[in-house]
Structure formats: C-alpha cells, structure tokens
C-alpha cells in the first residue's frame, strides 16, 4: 500500500501515524445531478429546476434553492424521483475512476444533499418542518422516497469498488440543531444507520464512512458514533464547543476540518491563520483522530491557505514525525 494511504488509515485508527495527513489521499466523486449546478440547462441560465423539480437560482456564482418541487406535504405522492439506473448518471464517477491512480489514492463516493437537505429543498424548510410535527406519516413518506433513491445510487456506486463512502447533510444551524434531537432520532438516525450498514455489508466492516454536516451537531454526537460514522466534517468551530466535542468523541470518531472558515481564514492575517491551525492541532490531535483542514475555502486568500498548510507541516514535523522516528529507532 502506498505510504500516504497507509498513513491515512493510521490516522483514522490512531496507530502511530508517521505524519499529519493533509491533504487526504482520498478523491471523491458522485453521480450526475448530485450537485444542483450540474442540472443547469445551459450556461448563463440563472434559474432552473433540477431532476426533482426543485427551483434553483444562481446568485453571483453561488447557487441556492428558491422554490419547492411541490407546495404542500399533501402532495408528496406527486414526487417522482430520478432513476438511479439512468444511462449517463454515473458518467462523472466513471471519468474520475478512469484517471484515478488507485495505487496512490482511495476512491470515495459521496451522497450530497442526502436526506434532510433534499427534503427541505423538495418541500421548503417550513413545510417540511410542519410535516414532521403535524403530519409525520407524510414526512416519513417523503424520506422513504429519497432513501430509496439514495440506496439505488449506492448500489450503482458498488460497481466501482469504492474504498470510502461519504454522506453530506447539514443538520445544524449556528447555535442549535435544525430540529430537536428527538425529532432527528425519529426521522434521520434509522435511515443514516441503514446507509452506513449498507456500505459496511458490501464493502467490509472497516470501511470509512464520513459525514459532512455544517453547524451545531453537539446533541447528536453519540448518535453519530452509534450508527458507525468514522469521520465527522467540518466540526465548525463557530457552532460547536470543540474541546467538549473532542472529549465526547475521543477514541471513537475522527474529526476533520475545524480551522475557522467564517472568521479567521477569510478575514485574518497569515499569522492569525497559523496560530489558529496550531491551536486546533494541539486541541484535536490524539495520536491521530484528526484530519486538519479549512471548514470552507470560499473567499479565502491563497496566502492564508498557504499559511495553514505551512503550519500543518511545521506542527507535524515537531509533534508527529519526530516521535515516529523515535519509534523506528526503538
């Protein structure tokens, strides 16, 4: 196995990695239409509907949902999901696999807008919120439709023999979950576990599964570990208590990201970025168990990204590589 791939697994397992892992030796891909921009009918079109019927708008290069596929949760039975076996749907992944050096890189498959985000896009956030409270059977019906599609996508992904699987779903706001923890456990935890179990059954019990969820996720950390999430990203520092988050997940979950993408990376000086990076490594590293990186890069100057990269290299040389050489000498 390539040394970078072996070191990545050592980080996940906390088994004396030889260096801090950045960037990750994983390369990710998804089906066509997973990202709304792919469904834009032509260059220059600023508003369009995707394969689910959701209306999207391009606002100065950023894309936002601006119209639901249906107006009411009573219309859930009108929703027709895309066909996960449609010709060409796997073309982006086929292209990635064709050019990917799999001796050097792991192949990671991804489910963007997995359940919650897709549901609030299809119904609108207020209507879906009302459905969970006032018409739970309708909310479950919608989530079952989405889940059937996502499992169909996962079955298509299997033919590429991925090494890792990722799920993207932003469950948090800046200071709280998007719903009560009890509501999350009722509607989302069983379905998230179903997807994790699917991949572990077909790819092996040690397959890394990562969850990307922006925002506040503190109340469901133990639930995420229970369902088998290996890596949590981006552990947003402005929305979570990172020392407490590390304490709760210590030894059980790898944290990824954590370098402030709302304030320090886009607005700070290179020296402030360096201090932030070193501080997060001191806080979150536990003989592995942490994949440092930016919470986001939009609007971040290259000099700040380079300051982050240099700080990671320096911290690794002082705190990890020296120890690894000592172990080799023993």
CATH number for the domain running over 3-38+79-233: 3.20.20.210
| Alpha-carbon span 300 to 123, nearest angstrom | 33
Whether 52 shows a pLDDT value over 70: the answer reads: yes
Whether 324 shows a pLDDT value over 90: the answer reads: no
Whether 315 shows a pLDDT value over 60: the answer reads: yes
Q: What is the CA radius of gyration of the chain?
A: 20
Mean pLDDT of the chain: 96
| Alpha-carbon span 148 to 188, nearest angstrom | 14
Over range 187-204, report the average pLDDT.
98
Helices (H), 87-135: 91-99, 116-123, 125-134
Over range 261-280, report the average pLDDT.
97
Over range 73-96, report the average pLDDT.
97
Q: What confidence score (pLDDT) does residue 148 get?
A: 98
Q: What confidence score (pLDDT) does residue 327 get?
A: 60
| Residue 224, CA distances (Å) to 102, 122, 128, 248 in order | 29, 25, 23, 11
Q: What confidence score (pLDDT) does residue 188 get?
A: 98
Domain ranges for the chain, please list them. 3-38+79-233
Q: What is the pLDDT of residues 201-252, one digit of tens each?
A: 999 999 999 999 999 999 999 999 999 999 999 999 999 999 999 999 999 9
Residue 330 pLDDT level (bands cut at 50, 70, 90): low
Residue 60 pLDDT level (bands cut at 50, 70, 90): confident
Q: What confidence score (pLDDT) does residue 325 get?
A: 67
Q: What is the pLDDT of residues 144-170, one digit of tens each?
A: 999 999 999 999 999 999 999 999 999
Least confident of 21-25, 65-69, 163-167, 321-325: 321-325
């Amino acid at each position: 196995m390539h040394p970078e791939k072996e070191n990545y697994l050592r980080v996940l397992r906390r088994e004396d990695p030889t260096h801090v892992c950045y960037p990750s030796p994983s390369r990710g891909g998804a089906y066509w239409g997973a990202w709304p921009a792919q469904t834009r009918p032509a260059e220059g079109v600023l508003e369009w509907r995707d394969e689910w019927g959701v209306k999207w708008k391009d606002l100065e290069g950023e894309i936002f949902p601006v119209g639901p596929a249906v107006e009411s949760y009573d219309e859930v039975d009108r929703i027709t999901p895309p066909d996960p076996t449609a010709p060409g749907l796997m073309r982006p992944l086929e292209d990635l696999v064709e050019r990917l050096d799999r001796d050097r890189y792991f192949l990671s498959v991804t489910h963007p807008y997995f359940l919650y985000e897709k549901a609030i896009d299809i119904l609108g956030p207020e209507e879906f919120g009302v459905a969970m409270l006032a018409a739970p059977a309708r909310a479950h019906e919608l989530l079952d439709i989405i889940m059937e599609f996502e499992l169909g996508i996962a079955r298509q992904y299997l033919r590429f023999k991925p090494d890792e699987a990722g799920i993207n779903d932003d469950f948090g706001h800046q200071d709280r979950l998007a719903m009560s923890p009890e509501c999350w456990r009722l509607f989302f935890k069983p379905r998230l576990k179903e997807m994790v179990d699917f991949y572990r059954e077909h790819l092996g019990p040690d397959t890394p599964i990562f969850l990307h969820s922006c925002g506040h996720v503190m109340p469901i950390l133990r639930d995420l570990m229970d369902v088998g999430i290996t890596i949590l990203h981006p552990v947003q520092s402005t929305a979570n208590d990172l020392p407490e988050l590390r304490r709760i997940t210590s030894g059980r979950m790898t944290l990824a990201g954590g370098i402030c993408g709302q304030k320090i990376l886009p607005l700070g000086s290179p020296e402030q970025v360096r201090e932030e990076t070193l501080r997060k490594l001191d806080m979150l590293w536990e003989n592995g168990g942490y994949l440092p990186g930016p919470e986001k890069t939009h609007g971040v100057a290259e000099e700040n990204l380079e300051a982050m990269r240099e700080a990671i290299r320096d911290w690794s040389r002082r705190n990890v590589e020296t120890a690894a050489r000592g172990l080799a000498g023993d």
